[in-house]
Amino acid sequence: MRMKQRLYFSYKAADLVWRHCTAVGRTLPEVFILGATKAGSTSLTSMLFSHPLHVGAFAKELMYLQKLPNFKSAWEWNRYVALLWGRVSNGHAQYCLGGYRKFFPLKVQMMLRAAMKGRAITSDCDPFNLYCPTALERIKGFAKDPRFVISLRNPVDRAYSDYNMNTKRITPLERRSFEQSIEDELNGRETRFRRRYLNQSTYEPHVRRWIEAFGRERVLILKAENIFKNPAGAASEMFAFLGLPDTSANADVAQKNIGEYSAPLSPETRRRLVEHFAPHNDRLGDLIGWKHDLK
């Protein structure tokens, strides 16, 4: 198994070296799936990647644009990976536009796809960008005609799903009870971004930032519950928003990253979080015209 991992890493490392050397001849994305985390962004990414006009990036969740407080990148686990990725330190890549460009298709690939299909697009699908003003400013600096897709889930369910995922990693990010993690965050004792579950479910300020920067017409907002119940319908809506032919009948609509819960959320904790999120949910409703039912 270790040999397979080494071979896989060697292949990916060689690919990144090649991409770095050819970065000047690569395109930049104009489509961004922003998240939220644990709200169907992986499913939306798979739908988009399965579209015949889409040319995929090196990976989902590049974790390259954002600069978040106390953030641990998935690419920081190995110093050689970090060096190839972008000299990751303190959870963030050393950003430059050429370093970002290396993750995306060659311009000639895009030209060939456009010649065959009539059009070609590529995308950056990273749910952590939603929460980051730095990512927004970087996108504003290079994107000429961007489009953004945001998926929002019932904030209580999203927070508990995120917590649950962190407890089940190979190297767990979370060992506290959910109730203790809430207490720590509310009392200012938790500063690590990926363990601030309530902050990532408080959507209104994050969504407002993107709408004010780029305009409501450039932002599609979907309910995660609708993505889970009717993925083909969500794919169709997203393709229409992006000006793509509707290929939802052939899209990859299988639900991704389905969590297995050790225990259901206690009724007492749910009631507490419903009360906590109610005013935030009201402000979100005023901003985008709809809100999740809290129950």
CA atoms within 13 A on the CB side of 227: 31
Q: Report how far residue 202's alpha carbon sits from residue 200's, in angstroms, rounded to the nearest whole number.
A: 6
Q: Which pLDDT value is given to residue 189?
A: 93
In this prediction the pTM is 0.92
Q: Which pLDDT value is given to residue 262?
A: 77
Asked whether residue 147 is domain-assigned, the answer is: yes
DSSP designation for 53? T
Asked whether residue 187 is domain-assigned, the answer is: yes
* Structural domain boundaries, residue 172: 26-49+125-249+259-288
Asked whether residue 96 is domain-assigned, the answer is: no
Asked whether residue 87 is domain-assigned, the answer is: no
Q: Which domain CATH number covers 205? A: 3.40.50.300
Question: Any idea which residue has 């399965």 for tokens?
Answer: 50
Q: How many domains does the chain have?
A: 1
Q: Which pLDDT value is given to residue 4?
A: 74
At 156-173, the pLDDT tens digits run 999 999 999 999 877 778
Q: Report how far residue 247's alpha carbon sits from residue 111's, in angstroms, rounded to the nearest whole number.
A: 21
Please measure the distance between the N-terminal and C-terminal CA atoms of the chain and give it in whole angstroms.
45
Token couple for 116:
């065959």
Pick from 204, 172, 199, 169: nearest CA to 184:
199
Q: Report how far residue 59's alpha carbon sits from residue 41's, in angstroms, rounded to the nearest whole number.
A: 14
Asked whether residue 11 is domain-assigned, the answer is: no
For the chain, percent of residues with pLDDT exceeding 70? 96
Asked whether residue 114 is domain-assigned, the answer is: no
Q: Which pLDDT value is given to residue 135?
A: 96
Q: Which pLDDT value is given to residue 259?
A: 66
pLDDT tens digits in sequence order for the chain, 295 residues long = 567 777 777 787 888 889 989 999 999 999 999 989 999 999 999 999 999 999 999 988 899 999 988 887 777 666 767 777 887 777 788 899 999 999 999 999 999 999 999 999 999 999 999 999 999 999 999 999 999 999 999 999 999 999 999 998 777 788 899 999 999 999 999 989 999 999 999 999 999 999 999 999 999 999 999 999 999 999 999 999 999 999 998 887 777 666 677 789 999 999 999 999 999 999 999 999 988 888 7
Asked whether residue 295 is domain-assigned, the answer is: no
Asked whether residue 105 is domain-assigned, the answer is: no
- In three-state secondary structure terms, 176 is coil
Q: How crowded is residue 265: how many other Cβ atoms within 10 Å of its Cβ?
A: 18
